[in-house]
A = this chain, B = another copy of it.
Amino acid sequence: MNVQDLVEPQDETSSGPIERIVRSLEEEIVLGRLRPRERLLEEELAKHFDAKRHVIRAALAELEALGIVVRQPNKGAAVRDFSPQEVEQIYDVRALLEGHAAEIIPLPGSPELLGRLKAIHERHSQAVDAHEPRTVFRANLEFHRVLFGACGNPYLAEQINQLASRAHAIRFHAISDEKLVNRAREEHGRMIEYLERGDREKLVEVVAAHIQPSKEAYLRLSSQWAQRFR
C-alpha cells in the first residue's frame, strides 16, 4: 500500500487536534471575540486550548495560509484585517468562482444533495431564530461547503472555500445583523428550490446576489471607522 491514499475514508472536517484549534480560532474571529489586529500569543493560546506550543504554532501557520491571520518572524501572529479595497477584490473573485460553480453544477440536484442541504438549512434556520450566532456560522459554512462541493470540480470548490475563509473575518460584521442573517436564510431556501426544479438561471442569480450583503455591511462599517479619525 502506497503512502498516497486512494480513498479518504474519514470526513474532511475531522482530522487531528490542530484542526480543532484552527476551526475554533476561526470561529472566535468570525464571532468577533478576537478582533482584527489583535495579537495571538502562542503561550496564551496553548494554555487556553490545553495544547502544547508547537501545536498552536502549526495551527497559526495554517490560519496564516488560510489568510485570516498575519505572522511576522520573531514578532508573532495577529488577526488580519482588510482594507475596503481588499474586501472588494476578494468578493470579486468569489463572485467569479461561485458564479461559475453555479453554472456547472448538475441540475436538477440529486435527492441526496437536496436532502443534505435541507437538513443543514433547517439547522441554520433554527439557529437564526434562537439567536445562536455560533451555530448560525457553522451551519452557514456547512451549507456553502456542501452546495459548492456538488459542482463536480473539487479544485473549484476548494478555491471557493479558501476565499470564504478569508471573507470570514469580514462576514462577522454581518452575522450579528438580524436583517442580513434572515435574508441569507431566505436565499438559502431559494437556492434549494431552484436546485430542485433545475432552474439554472435563477440559481446563478441568487448565488450572485447572496454574496453582496456582507460585503456592503463591511464597507459601511469601515467607512464609519474612517470617520472617527476626522
Which residues of chain A have a CB within 8 Å of any CB of chain B? Answer: 2-5, 16, 37, 39, 58, 61-62, 65, 70, 72-73, 75-78, 80-81, 86, 89-90, 92-93, 96-97, 100, 153-156, 159, 162-163, 166
Contacts and interface: CB of A to CB of B under 8 A. Distances in A.
A25 to B, nearest CB: 16
A57 B166 CA distance: 25
A86 B155 CA distance: 8
A60 to B, nearest CB: 12
Which has the most chain B C-beta neighbours within 10 Å: A73, A75, A154, A155?
Answer: A155
B76 A3 contact: yes
B89 A4 contact: no
A78 B16 contact: no
A37 B4 contact: yes
Contacts of A92: 153, 155-156
Contacts of A80: 4
9 tightest A-B contacts by CB? A3-B78, A89-B153, A65-B65, A93-B156, A93-B155, A89-B155, A90-B155, A4-B70, A96-B100
B155 A70 contact: no
A3 B39 contact: yes
Contacts of A73: 16
Contacts of A78: 2-4
A159 B90 CA distance: 11
Contacts of A62: 61, 65
Nearest to A89: B153
Contact of A159 (B72, B86, B93): B93
16 contacts: A3-B37, A3-B77, A4-B37, A4-B70, A4-B81, A58-B61, A62-B65, A86-B155, A89-B155, A89-B156, A92-B155, A93-B153, A96-B97, A96-B100, A97-B97, A159-B163
Nearest to A54: B54
Contacts of A4: 37, 70, 78, 80-81
